[in-house]
Structure formats: structure tokens, C-alpha cells
Structure 1
Amino acid sequence: MKNDKFIICLLFVLFLFSVLITCSYLNLRRTIKSTSVNHNSALNINSLYEQLYAEINSDNVMINLDIEVMSFDKSKTILKDIISPDSMYLILKYPGTYCDDCIDKIYERIKILKDMMGEIHVLVLYQGSSLREMRIKLHDVDNSIPVYLLKTGTLGLPIDGSNLPYLTFVDDGKISKHTLIANPNQLDLLSGYLQTLADKYCEKEETTEEIIENEHERSTRIILQ
């Protein structure tokens, strides 16, 4: 009888011990998961801050116009001979190590919206090791947007250190403006960016409705005079 009671007590103690072990394990898992989430969130916030910092500090910076670039036809020139102080340019610069599909998405969105940008010339600087590499990665690129290979050097902007694709605007031949990291997962933001540049710097052509409305207003003013 005593043995039965002892066995029952022992089993009960073992049961309680297993429950405590299980609860401790579950709490530990929750703690680890929570710590991991907080750590990842901190990393994401820190990464976002660094990107925003790079964008902001890459505006109003004199770009390096002395870097040598090469076109698809193997012609070498320096950037100074391409960018005129009398014209406006939107430069897409990206590293050859970046995701090919990602760049395709960015490039296609720029290509689609390029016509609305009017007088703003778009050009691509591909940071890579060889012309052959650039041809392979950009085999679907047509001639509507000029592409140049940049083997060495940078534009001299802080954002160059991020190793991410970015856009920067130049309207005086030397100073960067409106620098933006080109994110393939934020194509709507890219569209809004391009639209804003077009609205700010390009003269809008009047639509038929606007022409008729403006003509009507002019006629009305003449009659009232």
C-alpha cells in the first residue's frame, strides 16, 4: 500500500516537473521569437535610416564628371562630354551585382514613363567589369535610353556607398538633385517621383480641352472690354 502511494506521489511530482519544463520551454521560445522580431525590426529601421540619410546627403553635391564611360559600340568618353549644362538629365546608376529582374522592373517603369518627361534626358550608368557583362545583363534593352558602362570610379555621391540602384537629377551639368534609391518593390513611388519631376521641370502641352477653354476665356475678356 505504501509502495502504491509512493509511486503515485512520484508520478505526480514527475508530472509537475514535466509541466514546469514545458512552460519554461514555451516561454523561452516566445522570448527568443520576440527578441528576434525586435532585432529584425531594429535592423530594418536602421537600414531605412541609412538609405534616407544617403539620399538626403546626396542632394546638392557636385558630381564627378571626369569618370570614363563606355557605350555599347565601345566608344569611350568622359561624363563631362555627355552631360550638357544646358540640358536636364535623369541618371539611373546601378551595380552589376544587383538583381537582374529587379533592374528590369525599374528600367521598364522608367521606359514607360519616359515620354511624359519631355526635355529630361534619361541615361543609365551600369557599374560593372566588362562590356560583355553589360551586354548579357542588358540584352533586352533597346536604344530609347542610352546605357554606359562605368568600370571604375563613382559619381562622387554618398549614396554610391550603399551599393544600391539610385536615380539622381542634374539640370546644370554638375549638381545632383532629387536623389532617390530605386526600389523594385516600390514602383508606384518611382512613378510618382518621375511624375513630380515632369510637373516641376517640363512644360506641359495644352490638351484640346484646355486650348478651347483658354480661347473661350480670351474671347470673353475681349467682349467685356
Structure 2
Amino acid sequence: MILEINHESHTPLHKQAETLIRELINKPEYKNGKLLPNEVELSEQLKISRNTLRQAINTLVMEGLLVRKKGVGTRVENKRIFTGASNWLSFSEEMRILGIEIHNFELQIFRHEVSPEAAAFFNIKQGTKVMRLERLRGKKEHPFVYFTSEFNPQIPLSASENYNRPLYEILESDYGIIAQTSKEEISAAAADNFIASKLEIKHGVPILVRKRYVFDIYNNPIEYNVGCYRADSFTYTIESKRNV
């Protein structure tokens, strides 16, 4: 891949370099932890200073996309999957955009007594039966997330839908329900015996827990979702801008 900086552009040189390196590390040959060309070679190819190049690389190191080791070089970090909070999507859509092939290890859907959290979210009585979807998903090497979803009982879901389709596509195409807003809570936890066995990790290992409260276009609550992620395989990024 030929890397070229446009020195006539108004875009800062380090941002251009960052964009080019992002494109480079998405190439198939770099996805297994390959070392980047050394900084001298890269800075000469891009016709920028090493300090400018380091500014670009440091951004990607901070995001966890690259790992720098003294005396070795900078290599692509291939362990983690990154997702962000700026534009939320279904898990299937997130992974498709990232170019990651997802495997379904387990999938169950059944009627179940609503959890206290979902009952409060849907404003329904404890003991009400709702549809509950449980899925264990990941890359072919191993699962990295265990999802549970509970749905508002007003949605006439059954167990006959094809849940290999993206969830929000099912809701929209089959039932005319458009998911629009997601409010999320993110926390760290220690894996209990159940989650540890599902994610193939040891009991007590740190995991990321993401709770998602989903509303439709009329602000009606439609889904309460909890995802438990392997911490060694998943990073959640948040970008914020300050008003100036």
C-alpha cells in the first residue's frame, strides 16, 4: 500500500498520517499482529517528521489499536474489538461494519418471568411473562459476549423468528417497530461461575457489563439488554466534544 500525505491539504499532517495508518492496519496482512514499518521508513515515505508521525501513532496506541514495544517496534493489536457510543447499532451491525465474522455459539428464546430491572423499565408488574432472548456470540476462536434481552410484552414476538437476522431488523421488518434511542450503563464486574463458563474464562476474571435500555421512535421502551463481555477481547470507546 502506497502511503501519501497531501502537503497542500488544510488537514493537519498528523491527522492525515493517522488516517493512512488506520487504513494500513485494516489490511488482512496486518490483522495478526504484524509489525508496522519502522518510524524512520514511515516518516521518510510520508515526508513528515518523526515527531509528527509519533503523534499519529500515539493516538492509535491510546485507542488500543497499536502496541509499541521498546527495541521491537510497533505492531497491530489484534485481541480487542472496539465499539463506540456516538452512533449505536445492533451488535450484528457493529461487527459487520468492523468486518468481523460473528459466530453464534448458543441461542435460546423463551417466555420467562420478567427481571426486576426490565419490569421497572417497561413499567409492568413483577411476575409478568416476557420474551427472553439469550445468545452466546464471538469469533470462531472463542465466544466473547453473552447477551440477555427482555422485550416489552406488547411486542408480539414468538420463537419462530429467524434470529440469525439482526435483531432490530426483525423488529422493524416483522413488527413495524423502529428502535431509535439507546441509554446505556457500562461497568466492570468479576465473572461469576455461570458467565465464566460461557465466556471460557476463569471465575473472578474482570468482564465488561453493558446494560442497554432501548426505546422506539415514540419513546416507548422496547428492549432491556445486558451484555457481558470478555475484557481481553472488547474495548468500549467514547468520544466527547467540549463546547468552546
Give the TM-score normalised by the residue count of structure 1: 0.23
Higher helix share: 1
Greater RCO (CA < 8 Å, at least 6 residues apart): 1
Please say which structure displays the higher CA radius of gyration: 1
> Normalization by structure 2: what TM-score?
0.22
**Larger proportion of strand:** 2
